[in-house]
Structure 1
């Protein structure tokens, strides 16, 4: 809260009113003042971002102020929050390299709490939907003939009945030209307890895993080892400049493009200004880590697997702390937006931007609404490519339902998502249960 006269002082501060008086929690963390932080934490917003997009937890981690970090975490400071460059406190903790500040356990706890908080709304939305079968196809195509032969495709089937959903898919993930396929079924059972609701079945190995089970200490420590030996990624999809214009057809006489997609008449639009900003950091990695990771990626790109690489996470020791910070609070907070002095370990970062070309077909004949689709996609969000689809559909789209999306994911590769079939239907309840001959394997699907 600002006292009498504080508003005038703040307005005169560097950065046009975004000076130190506006960020007392950040200042106390920056200076390692635990006593002041303890007093402020009861009345201030500890998730607030400063003019550089950093939350107090970012600063505590980057500066190695453990007591401040632990105090913020004890008061449930958000871990999954990005700064201006898209880096989370967890990413900064990996860079700093102190095993005691990885924040991983807290991140997972907050994710479970978020899922449980959304659960009543999600169940209500599913209950109000009719029971249906929805089929959508993923196809990756290339102008390079030989490449087209190895690109994946998938006919994904979604069954929804009551407050249960089942998704059958063969495409687990497609990222950075690497395809991960299998024969999986994802089941959400709304009647089960939260810890029992989400299950993934491997129909080839006949094993299953409960997605949101609480990891053991050993599992968490092994995940920390993997994080500390891997690149740190940040991907930001810029939607501010996106516009939609009607696609045209015809040579002499141009007219708006309207075609049938499956059983639905659809209007086609060009998507303009879709930009993905990618950042990769590796200042925490040794030369041995980099070479090892490169060998693993090369093996995976050729169809190999981690077992062939004798991949066993090695217990990582905490790194030597970075050089002590010499930047003052005033220098940090008064720096121009987007040009904050770097805190923590010296960055080794590679940045790139990708501009995507896309077209989208919107049909006003489709029975399912966008909001209903978003609720269904929210349930199956643990699958990475469905989460990406959900992020795209959340944009302010033209009128109708997106029955087809063509998007250029690489210069020579286009991904096509098509909603081929939709019908209201009823199903045998057994398809929403785990088969009796499947065994539980908590170690399968480590990326989910």
Structure 2
């Protein structure tokens, strides 16, 4: 007798099926022989399903066996996003811990290759100019600009910047140096200097329990956000110059000849969910979020620990069967948790990039450098951009969107290979004091 479609899916995805059926015993035996990272046709991993269905024991078992946390389903949501929607604090906390552990492990796996790549690269000095611009006139007048100065010697990199951070239209100015010494052990390789206050902070390898619990409070009190730059439809066309006789635009950028390209089809897609937040939550949350992001819960008031957000009442038990789930077409996943409260928006951007064949660094080399210096959000945007398949050459001038209303113009205005870089640049000055909480986000 031929199998039904649901039976076929059950044969294909036995771990997914046993999670649906809530069988921890079957899961613990299948986990030894099956791929626990496999996605079903909705793009859900077993961890997604365990979270969405509230199978807490299954969640803990999967995490104990290293199920990946940073993975998205076809709808673009991670298990952590689904856990915030479900609202069980212990599950959210477990996922946050595991996500941080897996991120550290992945970085440590890549570290030897990264350090080897830095050693092979010549030593250099480079300047990166950032000009932030907005189509909103009043905003444009108050936006910062910055010149990042980057020194590289052996497996060490130092970046000096006056722009500490830039997020949600708030920025912090300062005189900051970020030092990476690749030959040091992980807990000691990353240091940030505050040159005005003469303080330094080692970028820690592990978060404290208090920081994890603060982060869980913030996640439970906030919209579930997903934003990405869609690169699917991106094309490059040569930028033109001249009114009557049109020709390809070529200009000098600093000392480098460059061909200019128009980037077409760049779309910033942002989506948010808030089914886990009540109207009362939305009123309270502004105050909670401000106190948490300012770090006011770092110390206990009057010796009492901070009030933590309690788990939500679980959503109604899903009455969807495995058979109904298994036959649903891809992208039409039946609702397994709360009714979605969902909003999405997309904005198209026009951008340009100037590519130079003369620049001494390759794009691969730049990516190695950026991988080291991307705790800063605006630098990680640059890294995402450079990962795109660009026209030939090196991107010496780039326009990229940073926020929905703000773009950054980045110019590689100076570059020179040098063999006289002072080794003291990569040391903490003797008159600086250590402050482990100067930069709470690092």
Distance 1:429 1:289, change over 3 A: farther
Distance 1:86 1:203, change over 3 A: farther
Tell me if structure 2 keeps the 8 A contact 1:20–1:333: yes
> What RMSD over aligned residues (CA atoms) do the two structures have, in Å?
2.7
Residue in structure 2 matched with residue 366 of structure 1 by the alignment: 359
Distance 1:386 1:107, change over 3 A: same
Distance in 2 (CA, whole Å) between partners of 1:309 and 1:218 is 9
Give CA-to-partner distance per residue, 1:319-348, whole Å, 9 cap, x none.
211111111112223212222112223322
Residue in structure 2 matched with residue 264 of structure 1 by the alignment: 256
171, 192, 195: which is aligned to 2:163? 171
Residue in structure 1 matched with residue 421 of structure 2 by the alignment: 427
Cα offset, 1:308, TM superposition: 10
Residue in structure 2 matched with residue 111 of structure 1 by the alignment: 103
State the secondary structure of the residue aligned to 2:229. Answer: strand
Give CA-to-partner distance per residue, 1:137-173, whole Å, 9 cap, x none.
1111245543322011111111111001111222234
Tell me if structure 1 keeps the 8 A contact 2:347–2:404: no
Give CA-to-partner distance per residue, 1:200-229, whole Å, 9 cap, x none.
223334333332422222332222222222
Q: Does 1:384 align with 2:374?
A: no
Distance in 2 (CA, whole Å) between partners of 1:142 and 1:382 is 24
Residue in structure 2 matched with residue 231 of structure 1 by the alignment: 223
Distance in 1 (CA, whole Å) between partners of 2:11 and 2:53 is 21
Cα offset, 1:115, TM superposition: 1.1
185, 208, 233: which is aligned to 2:177? 185
43, 52, 63: which is aligned to 2:53? 63
Tell me if structure 2 keeps the 8 A contact 1:356–1:409: no
Residue in structure 2 matched with residue 91 of structure 1 by the alignment: 81
State the secondary structure of the residue aligned to 1:367. Answer: coil
Distance 1:133 1:18, change over 3 A: farther
State the secondary structure of the residue aligned to 1:19. Answer: helix
Tell me if structure 2 keeps the 8 A contact 1:18–1:51: no
Cα offset, 1:392, TM superposition: 0.9
Deviation >6 Å, runs of 4+: 307-313
Residue in structure 2 matched with residue 31 of structure 1 by the alignment: 21
- Provide structure 1 residue ranges, at least 5 long, that are not aligned to the other structure: none
Residue in structure 2 matched with residue 341 of structure 1 by the alignment: 334
Distance in 2 (CA, whole Å) between partners of 1:109 and 1:142 is 37
Distance 1:320 1:440, change over 3 A: farther
Cα offset, 1:64, TM superposition: 1.1
Distance 1:227 1:200, change over 3 A: farther
Q: Does 1:330 align with 2:323?
A: yes
Distance 1:288 1:141, change over 3 A: same
Moved more, 53-62 or 83-92: 83-92
Residue in structure 1 matched with residue 303 of structure 2 by the alignment: none
Distance 1:272 1:358, change over 3 A: same
Residue in structure 2 matched with residue 254 of structure 1 by the alignment: 246
Moved more, 353-362 or 427-436: 427-436
Moved more, 99-108 or 210-219: 210-219
Distance in 1 (CA, whole Å) between partners of 2:296 and 2:62 is 42
Moved more, 405-414 or 246-255: 405-414
Distance in 2 (CA, whole Å) between partners of 1:276 and 1:18 is 38
Residue in structure 1 matched with residue 120 of structure 2 by the alignment: 128
1:316-327 to 2 correspondences below 5 Å: 316-327=309-320
Distance in 2 (CA, whole Å) between partners of 1:219 and 1:115 is 21
Distance in 2 (CA, whole Å) between partners of 1:142 and 1:258 is 25
Distance in 2 (CA, whole Å) between partners of 1:30 and 1:443 is 44
Distance 1:18 1:148, change over 3 A: farther
Residue in structure 1 matched with residue 63 of structure 2 by the alignment: 73
Distance in 2 (CA, whole Å) between partners of 1:212 and 1:411 is 31
Distance 1:94 1:307, change over 3 A: closer
Distance 1:295 1:220, change over 3 A: closer
- Provide structure 2 residue ranges, at least 5 long, that are not aligned to the other structure: 301-305
Tell me if structure 2 keeps the 8 A contact 1:325–1:343: yes
Distance in 2 (CA, whole Å) between partners of 1:137 and 1:372 is 19
